[in-house]
Amino acid sequence: MLSLRGLDIMYVKGIGPQRAKLLEKELGLRSVYDLLHHFPSSYLDRSKIQRICDVRSEVAWVLFKGRFVSFAMQGEGAKSRLTALFTDGTASLEVTWFRKVQQIKSLYRPGVDYVLFGKPGFYNGRMQMVHPEVDTESNASAMSGFRGVYPLTERLRNAGISSRTIYMWAQAALSAHQRIADPLPEGLVRGLGLMPADEALRVIHHPASGEALERARYRLKFEELFYIQVDMLMRSRVRKGALLGMRFAKVGHWFNTFYSECLPFSLTNAQKRVIKEVRADVNTGRQMNRLVQGDVGSGKTMVALLCMLIAIDNGAQACLMAPTEILATQHYETIRGLTAKIGLNVKLLTGSTRKAERDVIAEQLAEGSLHILIGTHAVIEDKVRFRNLGFVVIDEQHRFGVAQRAKLWSKSAIAPHVLVMTATPIPRTLAMTVYGDLDVSVIDELPPGRKPVTTVMRYDEQREMIYRFLYQQMQMGRQIYIVHPLIEENDKVALRSLEEGYEAICEAFPQKKVAFVHGRMKPKEKDYQMGLFVNHEADILVATTVIEVGVNVPNASVMIIENAERFGLSQLHQLRGRVGRGADQSYCVLMTKRQIAKETRQRLEIMTSTNDGFVIAEADMKMRGPGEIEGTMQSGLPFDLRIANLASDGAIIQAARTAAEAILDADPALQAPANRPLLRAVEQARSAQADWSRIS
């Protein structure tokens, strides 16, 4: 059978070359396959005929059966219009046509049964319909059921192509094929009770019932997600099989001594589990690529350190990269502090590291005496050469691009193991799709004794009261964050309001020191101001979201977020994660205007009702769509989905993943005859995608 992808859309009855061009340009439809996979966005209910006397509102489209009683032509030429009285015996309505009036007048006759489909309107209490669809009874019964309403563009509408036109074309394409072959293996379709492809395509364009539609949608969503999962798994299996990694077979002196003598607390079970997962990975002889997701404060740093110690025990060097100088410095201080007792050699390399220190680092890296190098992008500069780099930790993944990851690989003959850590919790199903070829570990437990941050919403008028509260907290020795929305390029108004906010705070607390940071400052100045707050020389930090990522000031107990309605949920959660790091009860205050939209209030109420980053991420994704999730991918998802929705189809993603694993376990290259059509479909889906390469 000819593949539907190979059939040009122009040969579908009624389309032709001109319209085919327009369809390609406007909707990207080239083949019959594309046409049949241009799914309706909603449906018109043509399943039951209504009585005219029962319809009283303007809302939906309705179907009436009856006769025209009379026709009347009004006006002249271009201004002429045709009106008709239509009755079904229960009541009557007026039908009006403004276009093609002569043609229509000759088309319909009084006294013959017609079915009228349109949207009723009311004028002076009388029902009217403008340009309804009129069909003879037999035509109408062929169309009964739910008819698809298709996404269109203005250009297509202007060219006289309506949703009904697309519907007719889809029907024409379907009736030209007796049975559309199913690309999914028969065993899978039967095993999962999926609707076969042929039936699903017929149903999706013209479902007879809601139940049939649901089954068709499920099948088509599954198919779409299944190709992605098969593709990702095939790639990751190939990569894992092919890419040699260093084998770290033992846990030795460094790890054990650190564990027994320096560990300041006992690990949570989640931390232990992730370390075990990494240990298993690095012992396979294949290169590890693992993503660790852990909510803010879940203790990723300790996990990273212990993993790096395993590498060092096996004669390798390790490297930890952070997105900013402040973060790199903090990691450096934490890790140096923790390991000083055992004499581990740890160094910091950032843009502001002096030449003399750089030379020392270069020498120690080359001879292998430097165990852990911590730094910013500076560590991936070409000049930096390791003797034996075996393990790389990347903190806050989304600030590092793929190109930078690749650059790290070139630093040793065998690709080092890579552990990517992110505090942006990504719902599992999204991670499965976006990071399909990374293995994912989750630290789903916070260290014991953390008090959940108390979060409240307050209005601008309540500022006096809030200031009193801040004062009390500072008298207890605590520090305060005050966060303003990010300043966009050249946004003078926002910059002004930030500066005013800063001045107001200075005035309200004349005896306290206030640090001030925003993204448009010079890095040196920024670091200086942040330093004031980190070292508790300042009590208050007024800042934009530059503080979002990773700063650790356990003594800070209050975070005020100004214009909270302007932030996304995930971002609010990241921000809130800056407090609640010490033993004290911490607070987060979301400031808004009194008048905010209902959805905004609902969104903010999620913040006041939970501290669980995963719950928040799921809610965020449901409300805003997966492309908007911060930190997953800067420019949206790496593929388009026609029907599935990553936010709401989690269960189907899981089912697709499980099925993909099973099929590849049995037939890794999809070479069995029964799997050949699937292989072809996966390859075609892959080449139809814009840019898969981003998820390397």
Provide the binding-site residues for Mg ion, judged by CB under 5 A. 550
Which CB sits closer to ligand ADP, 223 or 295?
295
Contact of residue 267 among Mg ion, ligand ADP, none (CB under 5-8 Å per partner type): ligand ADP
Distance of CA 451 to the CA centre of its chain: 29
For residue 561, the cross-strand partners are 483, 590
User: Binding residue for ligand ADP (CB under 6 A) from 31, 171, 287, 301?
Assistant: 301
Which CB sits closer to ligand ADP, 323 or 501?
323
Residues in contact with 357: Cβ distance below 8 Å, sequence separation at least 6, in sequence order: 347
Q: Report in angstroms how near the CB of residue 229 gets to ligand ADP at its nearest.
A: 29
56 token code pair: 């009283």
Output the CA angle 596-597-603, nearest 5 degrees.
95
Q: CA torsion angle for 524, 529, 532, 534 (degrees, to 10)?
A: -90
Q: Taking CB under 6 A as the rule, does residue 268 contact ligand ADP?
A: yes
Q: Taking CB under 6 A as the rule, does residue 528 contact ligand ADP?
A: no
- Look up tokens 């590498």; give the residue: 311
Contact of residue 151 among ligand ADP, Mg ion, none (CB under 5-8 Å per partner type): none
Q: Report in angstroms how near the CB of residue 627 gets to ligand ADP at its nearest.
A: 25
Residues 418-447 contacting ligand ADP, CB under 6 A: 423, 447
Q: Taking CB under 6 A as the rule, does residue 300 contact ligand ADP?
A: yes
Which CB sits closer to ligand ADP, 52 or 553?
553
User: Binding residue for ligand ADP (CB under 6 A) from 259, 265, 459, 528?
Assistant: 265
Choices 297-305, 341-349, 634-642, 652-660; region in contact with ligand ADP by CB under 6 A: 297-305
Q: Residue 617: which of 183, 455, 680, 607 has the closest Cα?
A: 607
Q: Taking CB under 6 A as the rule, does residue 552 contact ligand ADP?
A: yes
What sign does the CA torsion over 197, 203, 205, 210 have? negative
Q: Report in angstroms how near the CB of residue 271 gets to ligand ADP at its nearest.
A: 6
Which CB sits closer to ligand ADP, 111 or 449?
449
What sign does the CA torsion over 122, 128, 134, 139 have? positive
Q: Residue 225: which of 619, 642, 617, 684 has the closest Cα?
A: 642
Which CB sits closer to Mg ion, 183 or 550?
550
Q: Taking CB under 6 A as the rule, does residue 296 contact ligand ADP?
A: yes
Distances in Å between the Cα of 398 and the Cα atoms of 221, 404, 422 are 28, 11, 8
Q: CA torsion angle for 626, 628, 629, 631 (degrees, to 10)?
A: 130
Q: Report in angstroms how near the CB of residue 272 gets to ligand ADP at its nearest.
A: 9
SS3 for 133? strand
Burial of 260 (0-12, 13-18, 19+ CB in 10 A): exposed
Which CB sits closer to ligand ADP, 132 or 299?
299
Which CB sits closer to ligand ADP, 596 or 615?
615
Output the CA angle 572-573-578, nearest 5 degrees.
100
Q: Report in angstroms how near the CB of residue 412 gets to ligand ADP at its nearest.
A: 26
Q: Taking CB under 6 A as the rule, does residue 578 contact ligand ADP?
A: no
Residues 21-40 contacting ligand ADP, CB under 6 A: none
- Look up tokens 């050249």; give the residue: 490
Which CB sits closer to ligand ADP, 272 or 676?
272
Rounded Cα gap, residues 625 and 483, in angstroms: 26
Contact of residue 299 among Mg ion, ligand ADP, none (CB under 5-8 Å per partner type): ligand ADP
Contact of residue 501 among ligand ADP, Mg ion, none (CB under 5-8 Å per partner type): none
Q: Report in angstroms how near the CB of residue 204 gets to ligand ADP at its nearest.
A: 44
Q: Taking CB under 6 A as the rule, does residue 297 contact ligand ADP?
A: yes
Which CB sits closer to ligand ADP, 294 or 485?
294
Rounded Cα gap, residues 40 and 603, in angstroms: 30
Rounded Cα gap, residues 15 and 10, in angstroms: 5
Residue of minimal Cβ distance to Mg ion: 550
Q: Report in angstroms how near the CB of residue 282 gets to ligand ADP at its nearest.
A: 21
Contact of residue 302 among ligand ADP, Mg ion, none (CB under 5-8 Å per partner type): ligand ADP
Which CB sits closer to ligand ADP, 396 or 527?
396
Q: Taking CB under 6 A as the rule, does residue 259 contact ligand ADP?
A: no
- Look up tokens 């690529």; give the residue: 289
Q: Report in angstroms how near the CB of residue 421 gets to Mg ion at its nearest.
A: 7
Rounded Cα gap, residues 388 and 167, in angstroms: 63
The DSSP annotation for 419-456 comes to EEEE-S---HHHHHHHTTTSEEEEE--PPTTPPPPEEE
Interface residues with ligand ADP (CB under 6 A)?
Answer: 265, 267-268, 271, 294, 296-302, 423, 447, 552, 581
